[in-house]
Amino acid sequence: MLSTLNYYISRFDPKNLELYDYDGSFQNQLSTDRLLDSIGINEYVKVQKLLDGGFKKFLQPNELKDLKEEALNNQYSFRVIDIQLASSLIKTICDAMSLNYDCICRCNLYFSANGMKALRKHSDNYDIFILQLSGSKSWLLGNKELKLEKGKAFYLRQGVEHEAVSEDESIHLAFSIPKLNYADFIAKSLELQNHTIDLKGQSVEETLRILQTEEFFRFTTTNKDKIIEELKKQAQLAKLNNCSPTTRVNKFNPSQLIVLNYGNIFNVEDSGEYIQIYTPEKLFKFSKELELKILRGLIELGPLDSFKSSIEAISFLKYLSSMDLVKNMA
């Protein structure tokens, strides 16, 4: 899925918006009913009631029973924040995107009754990948319109104004992809020059004055590569801190769905000749042809059925499991 996603994003043009048919296996593996049922029993996700006009209210745990029916009966939308904490499949997608884009990707789920608008027209300061799980929505993106139906997706660049109205009962996922931008670049340059950014009082004027000085311009242009490298290290550290301790599962079944254990992985590098996998404790390097084929299949979230009849492949998968590099999808 990610290889297709990368290709799609690389040719995305806001002036010539295209819809994307995402991998059907993702749709088949994800039950929207089961996903909604899991919300009420997960203490980490937060649910917001959304009404036309922009009103937002966090719902309490005792208000989550029959959430879908309540929204339909009372004609409102709701947003489930950090739905990846309630779905191992969505968590795997988020972790893979985090690795791919040097960021920490999160996912929200939006449910809307027919004719409802979950949010007012707005723009976001991060990119968003939107997948329609059920129903359909009409989107207004700048001055362009599109209809998003089940099985379709599109990539929305940061800063593009957008709003959506459901044409029937609708559920979509929004994966946020915060990327480094010019503001991050400038802030890091100021930090490396020992300037404190404080937006209170007169320090705003002082910061603006610094940005216009010859010293700031000379330092920033001379050290642009160092600034970018420091930003990349910062992103890697954030991902490392986001890695969760792994609970080792003794039972690993190679015949079931297998994914990389991104909860224990914070970077993967594919040089072409070898693949390196970084965990908080260790660096793994793989170079055999079979190992590379299996790992690239896992990175792209592709099926591994063709390998499961090979004793050598099964042994390698079991080794990856013993090192907490792969796991069965729950």
Residue ranges of the domains in the chain? 2-177, 182-242, 258-328
> pLDDT band at residue 191, thresholds of 50, 70 and 90?
confident
Residue 28 pLDDT greater than 70, yes or no:
no
Phi/psi-derived region of residue 192, left when phi > 0, alpha when psi is between -120 and 50, beta in every other case: alpha
Q: How far apart are alpha carbons 40 and 91 in whole angstroms? A: 18
> Please, are residues 173 and 109 in contact by the beta-carbon 8 Å criterion?
yes
Q: How far apart are alpha carbons 157 and 149 in whole angstroms? A: 20
Mean pLDDT of 267-274: 88
Q: Which of 2.60.120.650, 3.40.50.300, 3.30.70.1150, 2.40.30.10 is the CATH number of 2-177? A: 2.60.120.650
Lookup: tokens for 14? 């806001």
Residue 11 is predicted with a pLDDT of: 45
Residue 32 pLDDT greater than 70, yes or no:
yes
This prediction has a pTM of 0.63
Secondary structure (3-state) at 154: strand
Residue 231 is predicted with a pLDDT of: 79
Residue 101 is predicted with a pLDDT of: 74
User: How does DSSP classify residue 326?
Assistant: E
Residue 2 is predicted with a pLDDT of: 47
Burial pattern 129-161, b for ≥16 Cβ within 10 A else e, equals bbbbbbbbbebebeeeeeebeebbbbbbbeeee
Residue 1 is predicted with a pLDDT of: 45
| Rg of the chain in Å (alpha carbons) | 22
Tens-place pLDDT, residues 209-231:
888 888 888 998 898 888 888 87
Tens-place pLDDT, residues 55-103:
778 888 777 778 888 888 888 889 988 888 888 778 878 877 777 777 7
